A and B are shown apart, each in its own frame.
Chain A
Amino acid sequence: MNSPCTTELAAIKQCRNGSRKAFEVIVNRYMKDAYFIALGYVGNRQDALDLSQEAFFKAYRKLDTLSADNKFFPWFYQILKNQCFSHLRKFKNKKTQSLDGAEEPIVIEDEKHSFDPEMIAERNEAKDRLWQAIGQLDEKHREVIILRHFQNFSYDQIAQTLLYSKGTVMSRLYYARKKLRELLDDKKGGLL
């Protein structure tokens, strides 16, 4: 039997030759990871779906930039991440623009684009606050938190996905969690 890696390599080779059927195999394999990572970044279902699908579409079109000895997922992750962050930036810019000159609260909750606590399976106030705090982390901290906590990736998997060393993963995780604690402490009531 083929190992998952050799079948993946074979599928990618077929994709390069124009087989969409082969790409379907790749998509089915990674769609859940892609969707949940996007959900972690943008925090609502519709955007997560759109952005992850668009990322796959882009990946297919530039598959020739994936070198033969590189794994699909870390390469795809970069496309997905850029897709999500440029979406977030676009939205953020719009938000600050609308604030120009107006006496309004700094945080405007936009129903359609904000971090939606409905996405949490079982809610309570502490979880809602954690979810909101994750939404306030900057990019490089948010990604390790999402991969570690929502994807349950091991340190090795995180390292492979982000192209970091394991040591970097550990220290990123430390600063990300520290920042998260500060954000939670800032909100009234503390952590728990």
Chain B
Amino acid sequence: MTCPDYKGLMMGYLDNELDEHQKKMFTEHLDQCPDCKKELAEFKDLKQLADEVALTEPTDELWQHYWKNIYNRFERTLGWLLVSVAAIILLIYGGFRLIEEIIQDPTVDIVLKVGLVALIGGLAILFVSVLRERLYLRKKDPYKDIRR
């Protein structure tokens, strides 16, 4: 084994994660390798410094409100969902009534009526297409937020 093979063991030695056999292997190498000895000393300094850096504990209040904040997200999502559903229903209903009125109105020009029907048809196709794509992507990629 050469020095690079001992790097992992050096970390284990530093963090006290080696079993007796590994420890023996590493210290035997250390005794005859000044380079690794020097490197180990440098890592010890770093570890000591890092061990001293403790992050500040937030107030208890933060932990008490922690769940509440997550719960609020559930509520907000439900709220938005209801608003969206209601908006879609109202729009569709209102739209149909309006179209019905215009089409049945004999004073409105036929060109306008045809244009309106085409517009509605086009919007409906686009809507279904986007919806289908969304659903498809969702099904296809359940791990989209998880990198492997």
Question: Is the interface on chain B under 10, 10 to 19, 20 to 34, or 35 or more residues?
Answer: 35 or more
| Contact between A170 and B11, CB atoms less than 8 A apart | yes
**Of B69-77, B91-99, B129-137, which binds chain A?**
B69-77
Min distance, Cβ B57 to any Cβ of chain A, angstroms: 8
Beyond A35-B66, A49-B62, A177-B43, 10 additional pairs, beta carbon < 8 A: A32-B63, A36-B55, A53-B69, A65-B142, A118-B56, A119-B56, A120-B53, A120-B55, A170-B12, A191-B42
CA distance A118 to B56 in the complex (A): 8
| Interface 1/0 per residue, A151-173 and B, CB below 8 Å | 00011000000000001001101
Min CB distance B95 to A, Å, is 32
A35 in contact with B58 given A20-B71, A58-B145, A177-B46 (CB within 8 Å)? yes
Answer whether A155 and B63 are a contact pair too, CB < 8 Å, given A62-B142, A82-B146, A149-B51.
no
| Residue of B49, B53, B62, B74 contacting most chain A CB atoms (<10 Å) | B53
Partner of B8, one of A65, A150, A171: A171
How distant is the Cα of A26 from the Cα of B43 in the complex, in angstroms? 37
Tell me whether A72 is interfacial, beta carbon within 8 Å: no
Please state if B8 and A174 are interface contacts (CB–CB under 8 Å): yes
Q: Is A79 an interface residue (CB 8 A)?
A: yes
Say whether B46 contacts A24, CB under 8 Å: no
Q: Which parts of B12-56 form the interface with A (CB within 8 Å)? A: 12, 15, 17, 42-43, 45-47, 49-56
Q: Is A148 an interface residue (CB 8 A)?
A: yes
> Which chain B residues have a beta carbon within 8 Å of chain A's beta carbons?
7-12, 15, 17, 42-43, 45-47, 49-58, 62-63, 66-67, 69-71, 73-74, 142-143, 145-147
Chain A interface residues (CB < 8 Å from chain B): 20, 24, 27-28, 31-32, 35-36, 39-40, 45, 49, 53-54, 56-58, 60, 62, 65, 75, 78-79, 81-83, 118-122, 126-127, 130-131, 145, 148-150, 154-155, 167, 170-171, 173-174, 177, 180-181, 184, 191-192
Nearest-neighbour CB distance to chain A for B126, whole angstroms, equals 27
Look across to chain B and name the residue whose beta carbon is closest to the beta carbon of A27: B67
Across the interface, B143 reaches (CB within 8 A) one of A40, A65, A184, A192, namely A65
A180 engages B46 (CB within 8 Å): yes
Q: Given that A49-B62, A57-B73, A181-B46 are known contacts, is A121 also in contact with B67, CB under 8 Å in the complex?
A: no
- Give the distance to chain B from A121, nearest Cβ to Cβ, in Å: 4
Instruction: Name the B residues within 8 Å of A150 (CB-CB).
Output: 53, 55
